[in-house]
């Protein structure tokens, strides 16, 4: 099946916008939104019946569909609002065990919410946050492994690592990182906010202790479709970020009623998976990866800059350096983003890892090569005029 423009009508995305930021919030296709509307409609037909009967009946159905896609036991998986909520549940639960001087490890490229939650827990407990510096540009996935290993000490009591980073769009070698922490009995959480749908995720094979993620970015689910997987070993220690109204201490019950929520997004996850399968999971990934690799080659050679990461660390997101001297100001990202959007109708984030001027573009089923030419032309104009 042809992808690109031929399938763009499945999305509500505005025609005149070059949409190269699937990464930040995903983009939900119309057939999936229709399924969500169906559930919202059912809810309002009789909210009491829905919340007391249909919700408990449908939750396991949603978890089953997702666990088949991610290859895990549905009993170990709970639905939350987003990856941030999932990661908060883990860290704030484990805080009870951290002592002054314990070290909580992460990388310099972790997502802001992870840094802030680690800081919060460290302030609460006297633990300290340790950052393993991961460079950008990066040449080899082993650099991530080495950076983390160099920071492990007898005091390391937790590690949080991104599966795909927000800052640089790079895929970390989590399959090589996890065993290092498991061998040392250090709890390890993978932040998979960008992973399900984007890269192949086999939770059982990964065998981490915790996996927080999103279905609303790359799995085409509506917003508010987050997941948290917890290994059986830790389930009795983990509580929901918002304590459940439902009495009971088993893992599923603790996450079953964290206040009244609209569950229509969760109930549309299966439709997101089906939609992805209808276009071809591997076909989408290949289409997008081809676009990414082609675009970065064209843009970097035209601008005279370097790649940022080797191809094996790239899936459907890519960050490249721009030819701008020295560290940029904190205003660089919003200013460049706004210029590209307001003057050229291009939706793409500007990033600044280590103060280096970069741009991060994504590719998805609905994108095609000419859109990256538009991005290049806009960047050339902006850079010429500064």
Ligand X SMILES: Cc1ncc(COP(=O)(O)O)c(C=O)c1O
* Residues of the shown chain interacting with ligand X in the complex, contacts defined by CB under 6 A: 24, 82-84, 111, 113, 162, 165-166, 191, 193-194, 214
**Is the Cβ of residue 24 or residue 244 nearer to ligand X in the bound state?**
24
Closest distance to ligand X from the beta carbon of 57 (Å)? 26
Q: How far is residue 277's CA from residue 216's CA, in Å, rounded to a whole number?
A: 16
Closest distance to ligand X from the beta carbon of 318 (Å)? 14
Closest distance to ligand X from the beta carbon of 83 (Å)? 4
**Is the Cβ of residue 166 or residue 319 nearer to ligand X in the bound state?**
166
Other CB atoms within a 10 A radius of the CB of residue 12 amount to 10
**Is the Cβ of residue 225 or residue 231 nearer to ligand X in the bound state?**
225
Name the closest residue to ligand X (Cβ).
166
SS3 per-residue string spanning 169-185: CCECCHHHHHHHHHHCC
Contacts of 49 (CB under 8 A, 6+ apart): none
Closest distance to ligand X from the beta carbon of 85 (Å)? 7
Tell me if the bond preceding 137 is cis, omega within 30° of 0. yes
Detail the DSSP E strand segments found in 8-83. Answer: 18-19, 77-80
**Is the Cβ of residue 130 or residue 161 nearer to ligand X in the bound state?**
161
Asked whether 33 and 222 are in contact (CB, 8 A), the reply is yes
Closest distance to ligand X from the beta carbon of 371 (Å)? 21
Closest distance to ligand X from the beta carbon of 113 (Å)? 6
**Is the Cβ of residue 193 or residue 288 nearer to ligand X in the bound state?**
193
Asked whether 158 and 186 are in contact (CB, 8 A), the reply is yes
**Is the Cβ of residue 3 or residue 230 nearer to ligand X in the bound state?**
230
Q: Strand, helix or coil at 242?
A: coil
DSSP 8-state secondary structure symbol assigned to residue 101: T
Question: Which pair of tokens denotes residue 115?
Answer: 């840094």
Burial class (CB in 10 A: 0-12, 13-18, 19+), 335: middle
């Amino acid at each position: 099946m042809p992808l690109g423009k031929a399938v763009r009508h499945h999305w509500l995305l505005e025609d005149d916008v070059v949409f190269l930021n699937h990464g930040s919030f995903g983009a939900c296709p119309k057939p999936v939104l229709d399924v969500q509307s169906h559930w919202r409609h059912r809810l309002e037909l009789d909210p009491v019946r829905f919340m007391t009967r249909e919700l408990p009946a449908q939750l396991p159905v949603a978890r089953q569909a997702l666990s088949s896609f991610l290859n895990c036991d549905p009993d170990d998986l709970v639905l939350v609002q987003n990856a941030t909520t999932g990661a908060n549940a883990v860290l704030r639960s484990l805080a009870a065990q951290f002592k002054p001087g314990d070290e909580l490890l992460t990388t310099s490229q972790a997502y802001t919410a992870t840094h802030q939650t680690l800081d919060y827990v460290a302030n609460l407990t006297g633990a300290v946050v340790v950052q393993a510096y991961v460079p950008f540009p990066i040449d080899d996935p082993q650099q991530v492994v080495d950076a983390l290993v160099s920071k492990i000490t007898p005091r390391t009591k937790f590690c949080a690592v991104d599966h795909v980073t927000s800052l640089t769009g790079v895929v970390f070698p989590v399959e090589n990182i996890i065993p290092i922490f498991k061998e040392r009995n250090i709890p390890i959480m993978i932040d998979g906010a960008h992973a399900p749908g984007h890269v192949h995720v086999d939770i059982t094979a990964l065998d981490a202790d915790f996996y927080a993620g999103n279905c609303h970015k790359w799995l085409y689910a509506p917003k508010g479709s987050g997941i948290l997987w917890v290994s059986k070993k830790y389930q009795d220690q983990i509580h929901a970020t918002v304590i459940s109204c439902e009495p009971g201490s088993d893992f599923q019950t603790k996450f079953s009623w964290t206040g009244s929520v609209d569950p229509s997004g969760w109930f549309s996850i299966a439709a997101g998976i089906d939609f992805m399968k209808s276009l071809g999971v591997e076909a989408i990934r290949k289409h997008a990866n081809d676009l990414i690799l082609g675009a970065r080659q064209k843009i970097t050679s035209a601008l005279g800059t370097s790649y940022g990461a080797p191809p094996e660390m790239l899936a459907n997101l890519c960050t490249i350096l721009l030819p701008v001297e020295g560290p940029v100001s904190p205003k660089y990202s919003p200013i460049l983003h706004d210029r590209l959007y307001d003057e050229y109708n291009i939706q793409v984030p500007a990033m600044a890892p280590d103060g280096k001027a970069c741009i991060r573009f994504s590719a998805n089923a609905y994108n095609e090569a000419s859109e990256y030419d538009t991005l290049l032309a806009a960047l050339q104009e902006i850079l010429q005029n500064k």
